[in-house]
Every structure is written in structure tokens, then in C-alpha cells.
Amino acid sequence: MDQICQSSLPRLPWMEPALARLPGVQPLDWADWLETDDAFAGQMALRDRLLVERRPAVYAMTPQGEGAASALLALILDHLGPGYAPAGDRVTRPDGVTVDLGADAPLVTAARLVQEDLCLMQPGPSGEHVLSGAVLCFPASWTLAEKIGRPLTGIHGPVRVYDAQMAARVQRLFDAIRPDRPLWRQNALVYADPALHQPRPEAAPRRDTRAQGRYVRSEKQCLLRVPSSDAVAFTIHTYVVPLAAIPAEALAAMPHGETVT
């Protein structure tokens, strides 16, 4: 895969106490939801290619999620920022690519408009939210096929810090999200490989190879209630930045967590 990096991180989550404490969720201003940064053209070209060449690996939808997908597309169209040019049933992106709004599945169309990966979470039979649909072109060491249709606890099974107490807190958070109160958080890990598309099966070994790390991979994760549905949208804006672009003081303060190869 191509190396597509931003020139800098807009924020350093481990340096901000409110973001560094798990789960680190903060109120989101709608104007800050969808970002267009200096990697937009490269990331969108890669997403377009993956949706053609590896569609089953990056797009999944359950019958439960179909209505919410259409509602999320409408919400995204209402929040497109400067640089977009709507014209009838088409929208031209900031990189000059025109997207036909009726040519593909609603969630795929939405994902071809914005830099974020898009996931839909809806209450399952037990009340716990399950992954009902997603366009996940830039997975950070997980695989969409293993997660679709699974509840939050199953999705986070390999995450060491996701214990029963954390699971209960996250489920309460999903239950309480209001249409007018979106939320966000941001993480960061050191990666040896800058590739955006990095699926990894749950059974694959995780190795602590921090010394080999050359990039910071950070996700701005937003949670918002999808209008006229029971769904919560989980959107992921991915940054990949060379370690050399991080200020030395901030780099020294970065927690010594797992490095991903």
C-alpha cells in the first residue's frame, strides 16, 4: 500500500489530561466533526481503490443497519465543509472527484465523500450495541469480517484494558448519547508500518517492538446519534505522522505502550 502521511498531528492526545484518561470522551462541536486535512487526496484515492478492489474486506452491512446508513448519509451531506461542490444528485469533493449520490449503497456513498471511516452501532437483542454496518478502509489492527454483527464486548475482546467495568461504562455512554450532544476522543500508538489499511485477525500475535516504531498512528473517534434511528455512528479519522514530526518533548512524554508492526 502507498505511504500516506499527514505533515503533523493537530493535537497530541497523550499530552491533554482530558483525552489521556480512559475513555477520554469529550463533547464535540459539530463544526469539528468532519475534517479535511493535507492527506485528504491520498486517503480518498486509496479508499476509492479499496472499495473497488477489496470491497468485501472493507464494507459490510446487515439488514438492521440499512435505514441508519441512509440517515447517516443525509447527516453527512448536511455537514460537508468548505471545498465541496454539491450539484443536484452529485457532489464534487475537495480533491476534484465527483461522487454520484445514487450510484452505490448509502454508507459507501457517505464514505466516498469524507475522510472518516464510518461504523454503525445499534442495540442488539440483549440491549448491548452491535456493529450493524461499516465502511472500514483503514483498520488499525482489526478485521471487519470478524466484528460485523458482534456486540461491543465481542468487538473489544482482544483489548486488555476493556474489562467488565469499562464495558459497562461504554455501554452506558452509547445509551446516553443525544442527537444534539455528539462526543469524541482520540488515541495514539506507535507503528512500525505507515500503511493505512492494516487488517489483523484477532488470533494474530501482538508484539511489543517499540524500538522499531517510526510513525505515530492516531484516530479521532466521534460518536453521534443518527437522526430518526436507534443507531450511533462511530466515525474514525486516521492520522499517520512520522515520529520526526512530533516535538521532542511530546515524544518523550508518550506512554510506553504497545508498538504495532
Residues 6+ apart with CB under 8 A from 25: 173, 183, 184, 185, 223
Q: What digits encode the pLDDT tens for the residues 28-77?
A: 999 999 999 999 999 999 999 999 999 999 999 999 999 999 999 999 99
pLDDT score of 157: 58
Number of residues assigned to the chain: 261
pLDDT score of 66: 97
pLDDT score of 214: 92
Can you read off the three cell numbers belonging to residue 7? 505533515
Q: How far apart are alpha carbons 94 and 191 in whole angstroms?
A: 29
Which whole number is the average pLDDT over 81-103? 98
Which whole number is the average pLDDT over 155-173? 68
Q: What digits encode the pLDDT tens for the residues 15-29?
A: 988 888 777 899 999
Which whole number is the average pLDDT over 254-258? 66
Q: How far apart are alpha carbons 115 and 33 in whole angstroms?
A: 11
Parse the chain into domains and list their residue ranges: 13-255
| Of the candidate ranges 20-24, 98-102, 157-161, the one whose mean pLDDT is the lowest | 157-161
Q: Quick one: which H or E segment has residue 116?
A: none
Closest CA to 107 of 240, 229, 239, 196: 229
